[in-house]
Structures are given as structure tokens and as C-alpha cells.
């Protein structure tokens, strides 16, 4: 899964913006530190979701790699906390083994920019809610749950990740969070050097 095409139109809502950008040969150095993770972006045309001037998500290969193992394991009913640009959602919609995807998104602006692209899919349900407060209907279970509500890879995110993993522990066969392993490694590094 190297590239996922998305049909989200460019636009602005509040402090959020979706835009298309192109990385050309002479710009590669500029884009290697452009994203929140400091990872490189190869030549190509991409979409990104920005809050203020900060890129929160894109459909670049590194971002896709972050959730590719989750997509490989996903099947049946899936819950996604955090819509973002919808790149993960598109990958799940494209997978025949996934029969239903429920997405929880708190930002009205993100919903205004992105939700319309995906609501047309029969197996997608998008709910405006805070993932920490949302409670699925009694008895609802998920084959897989993905948590991705953070703007950056940071050990400080682990407490919220742990809260969400506990919340859905009995409702999910499998769950994961965006860059949880990297956050744990960062926490270990801090403990070692501080």
C-alpha cells in the first residue's frame, strides 16, 4: 500500500484546510522536514489536511505505512476514532473484507471538508462526537478499532491512547493507535536521558 488516491476536494473551513501539493525533484529537501514527523516525502502529487499552518495528515507513503498493518488485519465491523483526511477510511472502504466502518470525529470543520466524500459509501457511518465521550450502542462490537486523534508523534499521547484502548478493550477483537510504538520508544528514550 504505497499510495491511496482520495477524492477529498481542496477547501477551507475554520482553521482547517485541505489542499493538493506536488513534490518536485528540486523541492525534496524542503519536504523532508515539512511534516510533523520529520519524515521524507518522495516525488509526487499528494493531499494534506492542515490546522493553522501545520500539516496534520496527508496521503504520503510514510503516513500510509503508519496504518497499513491495521488495514491488513481489519475485517468485518471497524471503528475509527478520528476522520482526518480520510486516507485510512478510503483504504478500509477499498477492502472487501471490511463490511462496516463507523468513524467518530469531533471537529465540525474536518467534517465539513472531508465527510461528504465518504458518506456516499454504504458501509460508512460518520458520527460527530468526542471519542472519549461517545458510547457505542449496547452490544455493539468491532472486529478492529483504530485511534488517530493526535497531531504529532509524542510520548504525551500515550495516556490518551491507553484510555481509549481500555475503553474499547471488551468491544474489539483488535485495536491499535497511530504511532503508538514510536510514542513508547520516545518515552523510553526520555526516561533514559532525563
pLDDT digits (tens, 9 = 90+) for 107-129: 999 999 999 999 999 999 999 99
CA distance linking residue 131 with residue 110, whole number of Å:
15
User: Taking the alpha carbons of 116, 82, 67, 186 in that order, is the dihedral positive or negative?
Assistant: positive
**Domain limits, CATH 3.40.50.150, in the chain:** 62-184
Rounded to an integer, what is the distance from CA 9 to the centroid of its chain? Answer: 18
| Among candidate residues 109, 56, 127, 64, the one with its CA nearest the CA of residue 90 | 64
Task: Retrieve residue 175's grid coordinates.
Answer: 485495536
Count of CB atoms within 10 A of residue 59's CB?
A: 23
C-beta separation of 105 from 49 below 8 A: no
Q: What is the pLDDT of residue 76?
A: 97
Backbone phi and psi for residue 19, each to the nearest 5 degrees, phi listed first: -145, 160
Cell of 86: 480520510
Homologous superfamily of domain range 62-184: Vaccinia Virus protein VP39 (3.40.50.150)
DSSP letter string, 62-113: HHHHHHHHHHHH--EEEEEE--TTSHHHHHHHH-TTEEEEEEEE--HHHIII
Confidence at residue 33, expressed as pLDDT on a 0 to 100 scale: 41
Cell output for 61: 507513503
| pLDDT tens-place string over residues 150-177 | 787 767 777 888 899 899 999 999 998 8
- pTM for the full predicted model: 0.84
Assign 192 a pLDDT band (cuts: 50, 70, 90). low
Listed range (29-38, 91-100, 118-127, 137-146) with the worst mean pLDDT: 29-38
Average pLDDT over all residues of the chain: 86
Return the bridge partners of 128, or none. Answer: 105
Q: Give the mean pLDDT of 41-62.
A: 88
Amino acid at each position: 500500500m504505497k499510495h491511496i488516491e482520495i477524492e477529498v476536494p481542496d477547501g477551507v473551513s475554520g482553521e482547517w484546510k485541505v489542499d493538493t501539493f506536488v513534490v518536485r525533484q528540486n523541492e525534496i529537501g524542503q519536504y523532508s522536514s515539512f511534516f510533523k514527523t520529520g519524515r521524507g516525502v518522495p516525488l509526487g502529487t499528494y493531499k494534506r489536511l492542515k490546522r493553522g499552518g501545520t500539516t496534520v495528515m496527508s496521503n504520503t507513503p510514510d503516513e500510509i505505512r503508519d496504518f497499513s498493518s491495521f488495514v491488513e488485519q481489519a475485517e468485518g465491523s471497524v471503528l475509527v476514532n478520528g476522520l482526518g483526511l480520510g486516507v485510512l477510511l478510503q483504504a478500509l472502504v477499498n477492502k472487501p473484507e471490511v463490511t462496516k466502518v463507523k468513524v467518530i470525529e469531533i471537529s465540525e470543520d474536518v467534517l465539513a471538508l472531508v465527510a461528504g466524500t465518504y458518506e456516499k459509501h454504504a458501509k460508512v457511518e460518520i458520527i460527530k462526537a468526542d471519542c472519549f465521550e461517545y458510547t457505542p450502542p449496547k452490544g455493539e462490537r468491532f472486529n478492529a478499532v483504530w485511534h488517530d486523534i493526535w497531531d504529532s508523534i509524542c510520548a504525551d499521547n500515550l495516556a490518551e491512547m491507553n484510555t481509549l484502548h481500555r475503553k474499547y478493550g471488551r468491544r474489539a477483537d483488535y485495536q491499535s493507535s497511530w504511532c503508538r510504538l514510536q510514542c513508547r520508544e520516545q518515552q523510553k528514550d526520555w526516561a533514559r536521558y532525563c
